[in-house]
């Protein structure tokens, strides 16, 4: 179906793919199987039972969000809700109860032929049962059932990320205002369940790793398309558009996040949102872009000379970022703390900037004083999965970096390693030849018992490979 993974053709063939015109079906509409969601529910249910009898988890779907006028944002399900249900509708509520013989209840919007004619089909009760629910109800009946379940429960585990109105409704029902009058009420506890789901999500199951690899593969094609388009592009929009068109065509209904395609000085803006500036010759192009396939997102950044050849300064900084990334990736082993990649990468960047004369002073001193933070203004990576900045605890704050990072890596975790060096125009005390260069190299790393596996390894990364891919 899909013409390539690294396994089939090998990474060396990637450059040849630049000119390949092979029709591909892609991954349109691909989803994880029902058994995956059922397994996640079962694991959560086990934890609920450990909390004691009368425990009820309430999981809320993503609410619809306005965009402008009477339009709405494209709907994308909440990741926690999707992970536990596989349901892609707004307005849905999932209940998991430790009591009774029907632990899983789905509450959904009622069918509405008139609305469905405009906005597409709704699940309704029947569809909800088809998603593995032991019982299902539509609203407003669902509301009665929800309040009844809250009344009966002793402990509510709430998984609600963004629906304030819903959260208030649940809290009001579980912890009602008023006085008790000695009826033994007011004994319920409400627990935030998001950390439980986050911990489940932080270790990827084989099916999830597969889907992530697909998102990465699609994104690699998108990056190659953007590199190719950039040779003749006259505006950043054409570079971003080439990526977005390619990944949409390969089955990414959504992007994992808004594409960042900054050229020249714009490459120094970490989350550059506009992608519409004219291009000038000799500039470096930075693109941070990832496709979402089957609810899993890639997160890849490349920085390349659109004319096919790094200038001396661009190459020096690129090689430094590459070396920092290599050092960071090497730390992604089982038992190593998350922050280790940042320690390793930042040390390489700091020392390298001294070697290039951009930072002045002794290497230890420059590093310990953090002078390098002026040009490397972010961390070196984050969890990756259903969310581009995926759920999962980073562990205790590191005393030196004051950032979370003491979490030890386990097999099945996926994270990015993405050092960057940014020297915007007007940087004081820096020779003009270095200015206007922003570089970030970002790859997606799976932690395995055998060491780090670079899921995005087939996208050219070494300076000479990048240049070759542009030819
Ligand atoms: Mn990232």
- Structural domain boundaries, residue 191: 34-200
Q: Reply yes or no on whether 382 is catalytic.
A: yes
Q: Tell me: do 88 and 231 sit in the same domain.
A: no
CATH of the domain at 460: 3.90.230.10
Catalytic residue among 253, 347, 378, 468: 378
Catalytic residue among 138, 221, 288, 351: 288
Q: Reply yes or no on whether 288 is catalytic.
A: yes
How many angstroms is it from 318 CA to the middle of ligand 1? 18
Q: Is 194 helix (H, G, I), strand (E, B) or coil?
A: helix
- Chain centroid, CA 70 distance in Å: 29
Q: Reply yes or no on whether 3 is catalytic.
A: no
Q: Tell me: do 239 and 387 sit in the same domain.
A: yes
Q: Tell me: do 172 and 221 sit in the same domain.
A: no
Q: Tell me: do 208 and 196 sit in the same domain.
A: no
Q: Reply yes or no on whether 338 is catalytic.
A: no
Q: Reply yes or no on whether 131 is catalytic.
A: no
Catalytic residue among 80, 89, 138, 299: 299
**Domain final position from 200, 226, 260:** 200
Catalytic residue among 382, 387, 394, 444: 382
Q: What's the confidence (pLDDT) of residue 214?
A: 97
Q: Which helix (H) or strand (E) holds 163?
A: none
Q: How many domains does the chain have?
A: 2
Please indicate, yes or no, if residue 29 is contained in any of the structural domains: no
Whole-model pTM: value is 0.94
**Domain final position from 171, 200, 229:** 200
The Cα–Cα gap between 216 and 90 comes to: 27
Give helix 164-174 / helix 141-152 axis angle, nearest 10°.
Answer: 50
Please indicate, yes or no, if residue 25 is contained in any of the structural domains: no
How would you write the pLDDT of the chain (471 residues) with one tens digit per residue?
Answer: 334 443 333 354 454 454 444 445 799 999 999 999 999 999 999 999 999 999 999 999 999 999 999 999 999 999 999 999 999 999 999 999 999 999 999 999 999 999 999 999 999 999 999 999 999 999 999 999 999 999 999 999 999 999 999 999 999 999 988 876 666 667 899 999 999 999 999 999 999 999 999 999 999 999 999 999 999 999 999 999 999 999 999 999 999 999 999 999 999 999 999 999 999 999 999 999 999 999 999 999 999 999 999 999 999 999 999 999 999 999 999 999 999 999 999 999 999 999 999 999 999 999 999 999 999 999 999 999 999 999 999 987 766 666 668 899 999 999 999 999 999 999 999 999 999 999 999 999 999 999 999 999 999 999 999 999 999
Q: What's the confidence (pLDDT) of residue 187?
A: 83
Q: What's the confidence (pLDDT) of residue 25?
A: 79
Catalytic residue among 221, 390, 418, 443: 418
Q: Tell me: do 160 and 290 sit in the same domain.
A: no
Q: Nearest-CA neighbor of 415 among 440, 399, 391?
A: 391
Q: What's the confidence (pLDDT) of residue 21?
A: 45
Q: Reply yes or no on whether 389 is catalytic.
A: yes
Please indicate, yes or no, if residue 13 is contained in any of the structural domains: no
Residues with CB under 5 A from ligand 1 (ion): 299, 416
How many angstroms is it from 303 CA to the middle of ligand 1? 14
> Sheet harboring 254-255: ordered strands across?
254-255, 291-293, 296-297
Please indicate, yes or no, if residue 455 is contained in any of the structural domains: yes
Q: Reply yes or no on whether 418 is catalytic.
A: yes
Q: What's the confidence (pLDDT) of residue 15?
A: 43
Please indicate, yes or no, if residue 395 is contained in any of the structural domains: yes
Q: Tell me: do 253 and 396 sit in the same domain.
A: yes
Q: Reply yes or no on whether 410 is catalytic.
A: no
The Cα–Cα gap between 431 and 312 comes to: 14
Please indicate, yes or no, if residue 54 is contained in any of the structural domains: yes
Please indicate, yes or no, if residue 6 is contained in any of the structural domains: no
Catalytic residue among 27, 83, 272, 422: 422
DSSP assignment of 303-368, as one string? EEETTSS--HHHHHHHHHHHHHHHHHHHT-STTSBTTHHHHHHHHHHHHHHHHTTSS-S-HHHHHH
Q: Reply yes or no on whether 271 is catalytic.
A: yes
Catalytic residue among 389, 406, 407, 468: 389
Q: Nearest-CA neighbor of 294 among 369, 212, 373?
A: 212
Which residues does residue 320 pair with via DSSP β-bridges, in sequence order? none
**Domain final position from 167, 185, 200:** 200
Q: Tell me: do 210 and 167 sit in the same domain.
A: no
Q: Tell me: do 68 and 104 sit in the same domain.
A: yes
How many angstroms is it from 235 CA to the middle of ligand 1? 24
How many angstroms is it from 2 CA to the middle of ligand 1? 25
How many angstroms is it from 384 CA to the middle of ligand 1? 8
Please indicate, yes or no, if residue 10 is contained in any of the structural domains: no
Q: Tell me: do 167 and 314 sit in the same domain.
A: no
How many angstroms is it from 293 CA to the middle of ligand 1? 17
Q: What number of CA atoms fall less than 13 Å from residue 1's CA on the CB side?
A: 10
Task: Answer whether 242's CB lies under 8 Å from 251's CB.
Answer: no
How many angstroms is it from 383 CA to the middle of ligand 1? 9
Q: Tell me: do 377 and 299 sit in the same domain.
A: yes
Q: Reply yes or no on whether 28 is catalytic.
A: no
Q: Tell me: do 216 and 252 sit in the same domain.
A: yes
CATH of the domain at 81: 3.40.350.10
How many angstroms is it from 155 CA to the middle of ligand 1? 37
The Cα–Cα gap between 270 and 420 comes to: 9
Q: What's the confidence (pLDDT) of residue 184?
A: 62
Task: Answer whether 442's CB lies under 8 Å from 421's CB.
Answer: no
Q: Which CA distances in Å does 421 have to 278, 338, 342, 378, 440?
A: 23, 20, 13, 10, 7
Q: Tell me: do 171 and 220 sit in the same domain.
A: no
The DSSP call for residue 28 is T
Q: Reply yes or no on whether 422 is catalytic.
A: yes
């Amino acid at each position: 179906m899909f013409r390539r993974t690294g396994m089939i053709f090998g990474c060396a063939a990637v450059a040849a793919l630049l000119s390949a015109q092979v029709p591909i079906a892609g991954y349109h509409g691909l989803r994880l199987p029902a058994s995956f969601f059922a397994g996640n529910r079962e694991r959560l249910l086990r934890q609920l039972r450990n909390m004691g009898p009368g425990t009820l988890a309430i999981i809320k779907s993503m609410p619809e969000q306005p965009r402008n006028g009477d339009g709405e944002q494209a709907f994308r399900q909440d990741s926690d809700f999707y992970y536990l249900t596989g349901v892609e509708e707004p307005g849905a509520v999932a209940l998991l109860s430790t009591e009774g013989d029907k632990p899983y209840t789905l509450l959904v919007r009622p069918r509405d032929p008139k609305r469905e004619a405009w906005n597409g089909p709704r699940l309704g009760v029947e569809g909800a049962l088809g998603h593995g629910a032991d019982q299902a109800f539509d609203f407003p009946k669902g509301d009665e059932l929800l309040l009844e379940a809250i009344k009966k429960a002793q402990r509510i585990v709430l998984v609600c990320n963004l629906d304030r109105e819903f959260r208030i409704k649940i809290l009001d029902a579980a912890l009602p205002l008023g006085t008790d009058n000695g009826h033994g009420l007011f004994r319920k506890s409400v627990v935030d369940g998001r950390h439980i789901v986050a911990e489940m999500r932080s270790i990827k199951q084989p099916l999830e790793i597969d889907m992530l690899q697909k998102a990465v593969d699609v994104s690699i094609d998108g990056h190659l398309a953007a590199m190719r388009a950039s040779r003749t592009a006259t505006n950043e929009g054409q570079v971003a558009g080439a990526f977005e068109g390619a990944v949409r065509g390969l089955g990414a209904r959504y992007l994992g996040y808004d594409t960042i395609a900054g050229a020249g000085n714009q490459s120094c803006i970490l989350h550059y949102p506009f992608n519409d500036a004219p291009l000038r010759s000799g500039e470096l192009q930075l693109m941070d872009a990832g496709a979402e396939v089957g609810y899993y997102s890639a997160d890849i950044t490349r920085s390349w000379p659109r004319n096919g050849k790094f200038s001396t300064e661009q190459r020096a900084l690129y090689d430094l970022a590459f070396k920092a990334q290599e050092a960071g990736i090497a730390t992604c082993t089982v038992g190593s703390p998350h922050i280790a990649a940042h320690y390793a990468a930042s040390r390489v960047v700091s020392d390298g900037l001294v070697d290039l004369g951009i930072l002045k002073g002794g290497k230890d001193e420059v590093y310990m004083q953090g002078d390098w933070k002026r040009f490397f203004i972010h961390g070196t990576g984050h969890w990756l999965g259903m969310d581009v900045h995926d759920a999962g605890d980073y562990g205790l704050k590191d005393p030196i970096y004051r950032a979370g990072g003491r979490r030890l890596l386990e097999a099945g975790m996926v994270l990015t390693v993405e050092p960057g060096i940014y020297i915007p125009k007007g940087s004081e005390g820096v020779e003009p030849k270095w200015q206007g260069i922003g570089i970030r190299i970002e790859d997606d790393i799976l932690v395995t018992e055998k060491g780090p596996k670079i899921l995005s390894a087939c996208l050219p990364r070494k300076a000479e490979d990048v240049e070759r891919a542009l030819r």
